[in-house]
Amino acid sequence: MIEQESPYRSREELQEELNEVYVQLQEATDTIEAIRTGQVDALVVQGDNGHQLFTLKTAETYRVFIEKMTEGAVTLGRDGTVLYCNSQFANLVRMPLSTVIGFSFDDFVVTDNSDYYRQLFRQCWNEDCKGEVLITAGNDVIPVQLSLTTLELEEGMAMRIIVSDLSRQKKAQQQLNDNNVQLELINKALEASNHDLQQFASVASHDLQEPLRKIKTFSNLMKERQAELSVESERYLDKIIDSSNRMRTLIVDILNYSRLSATDEQTECVDLNELVAELLEDFELIISEKGATVHVGALPCISINRGQIRLVFQNLISNALKFSKEDLAPVIQIVSRCLKEKSLDSPEDSDGPFCLISIIDNGIGFDEKYAANIFSLFERLNAKDQFEGTGIGLAIAKKVIDKHDGLISARSKEDSGAEFQIVLPLNLVPG
């Protein structure tokens, strides 16, 4: 009788076989780790045709560099199979490093991007190329940039792909796009609001001036009949006339300020010497009354909106004359120089693209701690019964200078005069 081999193996045999498999697996794991960390530069593999030697050129330096990269790095064979990847790529796709090896890279690319990836894969064998695709990472999808290039190994040509995670960049870009959309909506709402404000200011100023004109007219008619008025009534009438004059000035100033909100980019090359000369003619009467002296140095020709800059000089010269000392004739100096940079502290440069214009007076001055506040709307440092004004003039000046991409500043000491400095580009580029 022939004794047949039992199909069943003993527990000891199975345990021995399992131990052999475990040893082989451990050897393979140790070998892979040694290759990855650069401890092994060559392998001898026994195949059907005998032993074969496999090496990598400059293996240690290469592997250290790849492992320290912040991007993912993958090496593919001719069929697109992953031959090697660094830890960064394994972390990116949320898989163990050992599991990634042997996958087709196409398996990580989302279906909608597969055709594009295959196109890049084919193209790369002829020339380096780049492209953006989405890859899967667990249940998530990650935008990445692929930089593909060929790599020559001892075993033949392979493909190297550098995988850059674009998640943060895409998120920032999306946030920027959302902010731009929001900003555009805000700008449109602001433009509409400004338009409504300009319309309101125009209508309001017209409607307010008509009853005001009647108040002044009838007040002046009553003034002409002084003989019929008591001293007290005449005093009240003078207050009504003075108040109506101040109100008319306020209405005009508010209208001028609101008009500056309109988009008016029309500029021309203006000789500031001529512009200031015209203003001094307008102020001729008050200059004569106060015995004022105005020294004007050589001023440049500059690309500006003539009407708006005229308002600036008008307000500054008017203030220099208005806020003078009672016992001292006003002396006003208007000088300029070219600057290298758009800064009040810029060094002088005769060929510089900016100019600094200074309006200096010997008036009552002000405490310099208020230097920034004086450009605010309706800001006054003096009582209205001492000096006329609405507190809008310097706000208008600042708004005009801002629209001309310039700077304006003031410095002073109480009872020691004031100096207003303006920096403007010589050639304004409409924005």
Please calculate the CA angle 112-118-122 and round it to the nearest 5 degrees.
Answer: 160
Q: Of 23-37, 225-239, 248-262, where does the model show the most confidence?
A: 225-239
In this prediction, residue 385 has a pLDDT band, given cuts at 50, 70 and 90, of: very low
Q: What is the pLDDT of residue 37?
A: 53
Q: What is the pLDDT of residue 97?
A: 84
**Residue 168 CB: number of other CB atoms within 10 A?**
9
Q: What is the pLDDT of residue 225?
A: 72
Coil, helix or strand at residue 317: helix
Could you tell me what percent of the chain has a pLDDT over 70?
71
**Each residue's pLDDT tens digit, 208-251:** 767 777 787 877 777 777 667 777 887 888 788 777 777 776 67
Is 50's pLDDT higher than 60? no
**Each residue's pLDDT tens digit, 157-207:** 888 888 888 888 888 888 888 888 888 888 888 877 766 666 666 666 666
Is 142's pLDDT higher than 70? yes
Please calculate the CA angle 319-320-323 and round it to the nearest 5 degrees.
Answer: 75
- Which residues, in sequence order, are CB contacts of 421 under 8 Å at separation 6+? 344, 356, 357, 358, 407, 408, 409, 410, 411
Helical (H) or strand (E) element with 47: strand 42-47
Q: What is the pTM of this model?
A: 0.47
Q: What is the pLDDT of residue 350?
A: 86
Quick one: average pLDDT of 250-263?
A: 64
Q: What is the pLDDT of residue 333?
A: 94
User: And the tokens for 11?
Assistant: 């527990």
Closest CA to 121 of 81, 91, 90: 81
Q: What is the pLDDT of residue 46?
A: 53
Q: How far apart are CA 303 and CA 277, in angstroms?
A: 18
Quick one: average pLDDT of 149-154?
A: 80
In this prediction, residue 49 has a pLDDT band, given cuts at 50, 70 and 90, of: low
| Average pLDDT of every residue of the chain | 78
Q: How far apart are CA 381 and CA 216, in angstroms?
A: 28
- Lowest mean pLDDT, pick from 305-309, 331-335, 349-353: 305-309
* Contact in structure between 134 and 170 (CB atoms under 8 Å): no
CA separation, residue 208 to residues 211, 237, 256, 261, 264 (Å):
6, 20, 15, 21, 26
Q: What is the pLDDT of residue 338?
A: 92
Closest CA to 400 of 268, 272, 283, 304: 304
In this prediction, residue 59 has a pLDDT band, given cuts at 50, 70 and 90, of: very low
Coil, helix or strand at residue 46: strand
Top-confidence residue, 376 or 85: 85
- State the DSSP code for 105: G
Q: What is the pLDDT of residue 61?
A: 45
